[in-house]
Structure 1
């Protein structure tokens, strides 16, 4: 008889399993950020995981079979549905569908998993958690300023100390004004200019100058075709990117010299000036928000102000080598997205950050929000006939708000203690026949044991002394456990 065919236990590429440490860190971030957003008057909203593919239309490469970029399936009514790739497209659909009954402006925040059918790689997943906040229905630059201020406060609440992240602000209208001043009219040439500017951090002004001109030959010998600007136009673009030095007002003055005179450029400057005034009123200084002309956001629906949050903390990888996290979030104004459904322009602005990415950045910076994820207190099971007594002890602890479990394996005392240690349990409760008869419990402080074990020089003495172990009256158990928990809080 042939052996049954057994599937290989494996995870699909780009999807990861996450245990307590990652989940607790993300929950703490979301709890802290949600509290900030609600203080600003934003309400929570949850939309479904699937949207009809035509609601995501212009982002899909194949209208007949939209399964690139997103995960899509065809329903029994032959309509294509796709897992949401972000939280903004569902918001646009929701706003268009419920516009008549929504308070306007509509201010909402949301968080949850999103899915992208892209090639996975290091740090690049097909499923991850995002957190967004958006205002729909206000064209005022002050709406953008409030989103920026709220983003800065939210990131700090999530665990980033003051001065460790900065919101960099630009405006698409300035970029469009710059293009007009540089004589760039062709869409393909505009895209090449933007891509060149986007490489400023990596290549520096000299490298970008080459990409703005005929092109650049890299160290490997590969040639990247440039945007084809003449020398004067290229220098004008570089002057634009270099204007972001000093305070916000100083930067705006420099930008006016570069892009002033074009209608769109002047409109963009006026919006940034209003944002600057509002940020000043909100108490957001240049340590938390700056105007940075080199910021180029890739999503095509941004129509006005754009901004991204850059991490300034020194971070290291698992080997202790310095790494640069760069952007941990971004957003901007997207006045055309809701119009896809209604045919009418609806102003909107928002900010989004990757929760998993921010948690990873905090961990790399030595600020792990879940570094001390605690397991439950473990009640050791000595005797199968006494299981009801063990469950009663666990029930007392749970009733007092202390996480607790009874060991339900079939192993002996030594294996049970090892289990409790692997769970990072703060304590183990031991109740044998002697304790039951005397109305006592023996508590082993596992936290203290872990701390002292690193200093052990004599194993025999360690076993004899039994550090952190005490036998007390059953009525004192909860108080003793709380003392252990508070000592490591």
Structure 2
């Protein structure tokens, strides 16, 4: 009889596109999110924690198909053969929550949400399939005061976490203004969207929508390829840095001109920018409405003390998502960093959002105005590390060493007193036989202090307290005389343990 085949051991590896987060990463993120939540709470927003799993029907943007049911999302069928998926952002769940509970929620409903989202997309450098988002939205009001408030709150949140004024700018535009420009060049928005399942959609309808979407995507590349690059992409196409040729949208130069006028409308002052935008939209009613909304947002922000040094009208902000219907905004960090080749470049965008008045209507059949913002948590954490606001080696706990395993209760009593005093501490729980290993453990934990109580110290009613940070500094550079003058180990009465540890920690900070 053949022996059963031995089951191979599983390979210990993180799935592609995912990552593990350890101590400092987790605590730094939590501290940043707590600071942002404090700003949102101050503005009157309530916390919401929705399900990580939604029906694919509710998510809406990605629908199952025959070839790849989980296109764009991680999806599966439940026992009722209903398609479910991990949420890909925090906005689609909000639309579902509001539609489901609108009779029990205040109007407008102001909520913030923080948590992981999942996207079944090809991973790359700095691009993961699971990442954190931090959102705030107001649902149920068309007032531009809500848009202005979101922008002001975003500016305050950046300053709260450690991005100083002058190192960021919140840039604001309006999709209605862009729609007005497209109206001028003969690409008026059609009522019928390009959908192959729409039997009533004509070829020209589908063509117009495809061209409009292509123009939108091209405009969104303005920061990367500049005015000339956008002109080429709008018309005949261009060759990218790798030498590959990218086909153009196919507009004529006469059609591309108003688009470029719009993109370069930013003036020396807000008033000049708004005047340029009025000229760019011409007689388009939709465009004129968009300019008026920008004027109102500017007035409301100035009344609160948010000038163009913090929040500015910038026509180059487009935002790629198609569901935006009005004002859009991005928070950009303006300080320079060095890229992987040592070249200086600006850090770039860390947050974005806008008005989306049609999303809830998918559930209710009625338009519900809404506006929101999403902060890229990992991007903002990276920015704070660049600025030195966080990072460096995290301080570990005070370690109480074990000199006699039969006296574990004594050591637990010590650690209990330290914790009651608000001091992070732990008892060494490994094999206490080798004291050197205990000190190596404390070093690996980045412990600031070690507590030592052997039989002799116990008999005399004292403890030894070792300042590990000072000890490391002395060992690295001090002379013998300096070492004698600056002892790094202290003997104190047992009842002064907490007081002495607190003094040492205060001196280290």
- Give the TM-score band, short-chain normalised: over 0.9
Structure 1 partner of 2:422: 401
User: Secondary structure, in 3 states, of the residue corresponding to 2:492?
Assistant: strand
Q: State how far apart, in whole Å, the 2-side matches of 1:66 and 1:92 are.
A: 23
SS at match of 1:156: helix
Instruction: Work out whether residues 237 and 246 of structure 2, in 8 Å CA contact, stay in contact via their aligned partners in 1.
Output: yes
Aligned to 2:233: 211
Structure 2 unmatched runs, 5+: 189-207
| 1:278-297 pair list within 5 angstroms | 278-297=300-319
For 1:483, the equivalent position in structure 2 comes to 503
Query: Is the contact between residue 167 and residue 307 of structure 1 (CA under 8 Å) also seen in structure 2?
Result: yes
C-alpha displacement at 1:373, in angstroms?
2.2
* Contact 2:421–2:498 (CA under 8 A) maintained in structure 1: yes
Q: Return 382-391 or 52-61, whichever deviates more.
A: 52-61
Distance 1:13 1:65 in 2: 19
Q: Shift of residue 28 of structure 1?
A: 1.1
Aligned pairs for 1:228-377 within 5 A:
228-316=250-338, 322=344, 324-368=346-390, 370-377=391-398
CA distance in structure 2 between the aligned counterparts of 1:435 and 1:132, rounded to whole angstroms: 55
Give how far 1:398 is off. 0.9
Q: Is structure 2 residue 35 aligned with structure 1 residue 14?
A: no
Structure 1 Cα separation of the partners of residues 26 and 104 of structure 2: 36
- How big is the alpha-carbon RMSD for the aligned residues of Structure 1 and Structure 2? 2.1
Q: How many residues align?
A: 486
- Show the counterpart of 1:470: 490
How far has the Cα of 1:226 moved from its partner? Answer: 1.0
The separation in 1 between residues aligned to 2:484 and 2:435, in whole angstroms, is 17
| Residue 82 (structure 2) aligns with | 79
Once residues 94 and 71 of structure 1 are traced to their aligned partners in structure 2, the CA distance between those partners, rounded to angstroms, is 20
Within 5 Å, give how 1:134-283 maps onto structure 2.
Answer: 134-185=137-188, 186-283=208-305
Contact 1:375 1:424 in 2 (8 A): yes
Contact kept, 8 Å, 1:181 with 1:262, in 2: the verdict is yes
Distance 1:244 1:291 in 2: 7
- Contact kept? 2:87, 2:93, Cα under 8 Å: yes
1:292 Cα deviation from its structure 2 partner: 0.9
State whether residues 248 and 286 of structure 1, in contact with CA within 8 Å, keep that contact through their aligned partners in structure 2. yes
Q: Is 1:332–1:350's contact at 8 Å kept on the other side of the alignment?
A: yes
Residue 234 (structure 1) shift: 1.8
Specify which of 410, 413, 416 is matched with residue 392 of structure 1. 413
Deviations 1:321-360 (A, max 9, x none): 6454311010000100000000000000000112122111
Rounded Cα–Cα distance in structure 1 between residues aligned with 2:475 and 2:280: 65
Partner of 1:42: 45
Residue 116 of structure 1: aligned partner = 119
Shift of residue 262, structure 1, vs aligned partner: 0.3
Question: Whole-Å Cα distance in 2 between the matches of residues 400 and 318 of structure 1?
Answer: 45
Query: 1:361: how far off?
Result: 1.9
Cα separation, 1, equivalents of 2:340 and 2:449: 30
Q: Which runs of 5+ in 1 are unaligned?
A: none
Deviation at 1:3, TM superposition (A): 5.7
- Once residues 479 and 182 of structure 2 are traced to their aligned partners in structure 1, the CA distance between those partners, rounded to angstroms, is 71
- Cα distance change, pair 476–284 in 1 and its aligned pair in 2 (3 A): same
CA contact (8 A) 2:238 2:246 kept: yes
Distance 2:472 2:278 in 1: 62
